[in-house]
């Protein structure tokens, strides 16, 4: 299954490169925010494939923590885009 | 045999991820990009997580499987909420729709929200001046 894992990592890397392209090109700030959100979700999938490859459970801890922090950061950026204070 | 079934799950999830990111690059508008990328990448990552959970449960690796299930539920709940918040913020901050759009149902409500924000801001600035 090593070929499968290599293909999986390559596909996730290609998806991340497409996200980085949108972060660099994006004409407005919400474009970049959407791309950052999607990149965070891709990193969760990347951690899962790494947990499957190396048989180490701590990659799943990284995935859960990354999903939580990505969600909170995206909500903060969305509040900033909306032009409101963070606690309203 | 059952393990191969979950590897197929992971493969389909990877294809969904790739197509979502292609949509993120190719589509013409913030809102189109947000909906395409969010739907595809949420489903794809959840399928990868469920595949990893299944392989972990088959290999009697209960920790990995349970954590993958928890993470899948969390991604499935939070990713649409985040995308909705971003699109709402984008509309209120004034990003224009694509020229080929045919329906704009949020325009009146967004105008009300903008006027509320400006009045609140003026009240807050007056309070700051008096104090």
% of chain B residues with pLDDT over 90: 51
Q: Is the dihedral of CA A9, B46, B75, A14 positive or negative?
A: positive
Please tell me what DSSP assigns to residue B93: T
Q: Are B38 and A35 in contact (CB under 8 A)?
A: no
What are the distances in angstroms from CA B60 to CA A9, A36, A62, B55?
24, 35, 21, 9
User: What's the rounded Cα separation, in Å, for the pair B110 and A39?
Assistant: 28
What is the predicted pLDDT for the residue at A86?
53
User: What's the rounded Cα separation, in Å, for the pair A31 and B25?
Assistant: 10
Exposure string (b/e) for B69-90, b if CB count within 10 Å is 16 or more? bbbbebbeebbeebbebbbbbb
* Residues 11 through 70 of chain B touching chain A, CB cutoff 8 Å: 11, 13-15, 17-18, 20-22, 24-25, 30, 33-34, 37-38, 41-42, 44-45, 48-49, 52, 55, 61, 63-64, 67-68, 70
pLDDT at residue B127 tops 70 = no
Any chain B CB within 8 A of the CB of A12? yes
Secondary structure element (H or E) that encloses residue B23, with its range: helix B2-26
Among all residues of chain A, which has the CA nearest to that of B50?
A48
Please answer yes or no on whether A74 and B75 come within 8 Å at the CB atom: no
The C-alpha angle with vertex A80 and arms to A17 and B42, in degrees rounded to 5, equals 40
Instruction: For residue A16, list chain B residues with Cβ-Cβ distance below 8 A.
Output: 21
Give the model confidence (pLDDT) of A39-86 as tens digits: 999 999 999 999 988 888 899 999 999 999 999 999 998 888 887 655
Give the model confidence (pLDDT) of A5-38 as tens digits: 999 999 999 999 999 999 998 788 889 999 999 9
pTM: 0.86
What is the predicted pLDDT for the residue at B129?
55
Q: Are A47 and A59 in contact (CB under 8 A)?
A: yes
Q: Give residue limits of the domains in chain A.
A: 2-82
What is the predicted pLDDT for the residue at A88?
47
Residue A76: partners with Cβ closer than 8 Å, 6 or more residues away: A86
CA distance A5 to chain B (A): 10
Any chain B CB within 8 A of the CB of A68? yes
Q: Are A63 and A44 in contact (CB under 8 A)?
A: yes
Q: How many residues does chain B have?
A: 131
First to last CA, chain A: 50
| Chain center to CA of A42 | 4
ipTM of this complex: 0.87
Among all residues of chain B, which has the CA nearest to that of A17?
B21
What is the predicted pLDDT for the residue at B121?
60
Tokens of B45: 């990552």
User: What's the rounded Cα separation, in Å, for the pair B3 and A82?
Assistant: 46
Any chain B CB within 8 A of the CB of A32? no
CA distance A50 to chain B (A): 10
What is the predicted pLDDT for the residue at A9?
93
């Amino acid at each position: 299954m090593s070929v499968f894992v290599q293909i999986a990592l390559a596909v996730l890397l290609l998806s991340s490169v497409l996200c980085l392209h949108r972060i660099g090109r994006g004409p407005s700030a919400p474009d970049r925010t959407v791309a950052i959100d999607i990149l965070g979700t891709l990193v969760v999938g990347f951690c899962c494939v790494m947990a499957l490859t190396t048989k180490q459970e701590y990659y799943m801890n990284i995935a859960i923590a990354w999903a939580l922090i990505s969600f909170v950061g995206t909500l903060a950026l969305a509040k900033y885009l909306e032009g409101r204070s963070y606690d309203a | 045999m059952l393990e191969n079934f979950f590897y197929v799950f992971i493969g389909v999830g990877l294809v969904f991820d790739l197509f979502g990111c292609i949509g993120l690059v190719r589509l013409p508008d913030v809102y189109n990009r947000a909906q395409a990328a969010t739907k595809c990448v949420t489903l794809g990552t959840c399928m990868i997580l469920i595949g990893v959970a299944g392989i972990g449960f088959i290999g009697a690796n209960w920790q990995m499987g349970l954590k993958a299930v928890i993470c899948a539920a969390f991604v499935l709940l939070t990713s649409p909420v985040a995308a909705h918040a971003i699109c709402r913020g984008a509309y209120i901050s004034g990003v224009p729709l694509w020229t080929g759009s045919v329906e704009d149902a949020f325009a009146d409500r967004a105008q009300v929200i903008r006027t509320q924000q400006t009045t609140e801001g003026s009240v807050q600035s007056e309070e700051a001046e008096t104090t």
